[in-house]
Amino acid sequence: MSKNCVGIILAAGEGTRMKSVIPKVMHPLCGRPMLAYVLDLAKELKLKSTLVVVGHKREMLQELLAEYKAKPVYQDKLLGTADAIKRAEGALRSFSGDIIVLYGDQPLLREETLQRLIQKHNEADAAATILSAYVDNPCGYGRIIRDNFCSIKAIVEEKDAAREQKNVNEINTGIICFKKHLLFKAIAKIKPNNAKKEYYLTDCIKLMADEGLRIDSIALKGDVKEAQGINTRIDLAEAQKIMRYRMLEKFMLAGIGIVDPETTHIDFGSAIGQDTIIYPFTVVEKDVKIGKFCQIGPFCHLRPGTVIEDKTVIGNYTEITRSRIGGESFMKHFSYLGDTVAGNKVNIGCGTVVANFDGKNKQKTVIGDGAFIGCDTVLRAPVKIGKHAITGAGAVVTKDVKAQEVVVGVPARPLRK
């Protein structure tokens, strides 16, 4: 359906209100840049291609755009949204079809909504189809201006709106589908005579309507926050909450128990198996894999590169990073594992700490199947604990331990039989 549609994502802005050296669209939302969500949308829509208008610190967007095979087009001066779109014209010379305009700072939009917009655009055969929203507080947004027959005549920006126009509560979310040739024809006529002295993309609507071209729209259903643009870190925190909850919902519907969604944070790109239960105050960062029938938390922090196999219990005040822990293992209280590979049926006693950093490098620890690590053991990496070996409470293990061997003390030595 979207085969003959190209996406243009506007992402040239600096995002001054974020007060950051990082460009706004690169700020993370649930563990990945907000722009990645918009690029995902473009991918899900199966658009013919995606162009991203970049400007401020564009080198910081390069890698992400390459990952998505999105084509950057450069806007050196922020002259307004119409100017931004114009920068993409050259790259689209041989294309005829539709263009959907997306914003890099609107990561909460849903694919279904955009599908609905594109579908309406095609069915109505409109010059432009706007995604609008009815909001309680339209302040800051462009208002949709309709005539007595309800036909759209223009979009008027907040700063240029007359008093009665300011009362209009139907707003432009910014997402608009255009017929390409009509879009660039209109853009060529836009002048920056408005309060902000910018080339407004939204002026296309009046230009098109004045020519008698059809302008259509669909309104956002349900939660209008879906089209919320992120401008400040307050907006970002709010978006984070929404996105986080969406992900938790997906997990719960897939059979994962989340005891308290309010205090559970799971980053994008983590996988969890069915019937695993996540207890409150647990943070699962990106690239973490948890098997089936596990119990995680409360107060557990799983960091990137962690794999936990089926039926393993990771309890309270625990942190695991870049480590794998086998099935049916236990690490129930106050422990840290980093750069560790632990086998199946391992018991990591309360207070176990892996000393994986020697001041310069991260070192590896290996714990064999069935090993029993006594309470308060320090494993000074690099070190290997053999299968079914035992460390005594308080042991500081500095040398490899053979299979079945029992070591105790500081530094740990084999226990004489």
Enzyme catalytic residues: 333
Q: Is 333 within 8 Å of 350 (Cβ atoms)? A: yes
Q: Which residue is nearest to Ca ion (CB)?
A: 229
In whole angstroms, how close is the CB of 201 to ligand UD1 at the nearest point? 4
CB atoms inside a 10 Å sphere around CB 59: 8
Member of 229, 257, 261, 394 binding Ca ion (CB under 5 A): 229
Q: Which of 114, 252, 108 is nearest to 175 (CA)?
A: 114
In whole angstroms, how close is the CB of 144 to ligand UD1 at the nearest point? 9
* Per-residue mark of binding to ligand UD1, 126-165 (x: CB under 6 A): ---------------xx------------x-x--------
- Of the ranges 5-13, 34-42, 117-125, 274-282, which one interacts with ligand UD1 (CB under 6 A)? 5-13
In whole angstroms, how close is the CB of 210 to ligand UD1 at the nearest point? 18
Pick out residues in 235-294 that bind Ca ion (CB under 5 A): none
- Using the rule CB under 6 A, is 83 a contact of ligand UD1? yes
Handedness of CA 198, 199, 205, 209 (dihedral sign): positive
219: left (phi over 0), alpha (psi -120 to 50) or beta: beta
- Of the ranges 79-87, 184-192, 338-346, 366-374, which one interacts with ligand UD1 (CB under 6 A)? 79-87
Q: Which of 30, 45, 172, 50 is nearest to 107 (CA)?
A: 30
- Using the rule CB under 5 A, is 78 a contact of Ca ion? no
* Per-residue mark of binding to ligand UD1, 40-69 (x: CB under 6 A): -------------x----------------
- Using the rule CB under 5 A, is 232 a contact of Ca ion? no
# binding residues, ligand UD1 (CB under 6 A): 27
Location of structure tokens 């794998």 = 324
The residue (of 229 and 394) whose beta carbon lies closer to Ca ion is: 229
Instruction: State the binding partner of 376 from Ca ion, ligand UD1, none, CB within 5 to 8 A by kind.
Output: none
- Using the rule CB under 6 A, is 229 a contact of ligand UD1? yes
Q: For 160, which DSSP code?
A: G
Q: For 16, which DSSP code?
A: G
- Using the rule CB under 6 A, is 10 a contact of ligand UD1? yes
Task: Mark out the alpha helices in 24-162 (DSSP H runs).
Answer: 34-44, 62-67, 81-86, 111-124
In whole angstroms, how close is the CB of 269 to ligand UD1 at the nearest point? 24
Q: Is 32 within 8 Å of 287 (Cβ atoms)? A: no
The enclosing H or E element of 208 equals helix 203-210
The amino acid at residue 65 is L
- Of the ranges 71-79, 217-225, 390-398, 408-416, which one interacts with ligand UD1 (CB under 6 A)? 71-79
Location of structure tokens 């840049």 = 33
Q: Report the alpha-carbon distance of residue 363 to residue 266 in Å, rounded.
A: 27
CA angle at 39 for the pair 35 and 44, rounded to the nearest 5°: 145
Residue 268: C-alpha distances to residues 9, 226, 345 (Å): 21, 18, 29
Strand ranges inside 44-112, DSSP E: 49-54, 71-74, 98-103
The residue (of 161 and 348) whose beta carbon lies closer to Ca ion is: 161
The amino acid at residue 294 is C
The residue (of 229 and 305) whose beta carbon lies closer to Ca ion is: 229
* Per-residue mark of binding to ligand UD1, 187-216 (x: CB under 6 A): -------------xxx--------------
The residue ranges that bind Ca ion (CB under 5 A) are: 229
Write out the residues near ligand UD1 by the rule CB under 6 A.
Answer: 10-13, 53, 75, 78-81, 83-84, 103-105, 141-142, 155, 157, 171-174, 200-202, 229
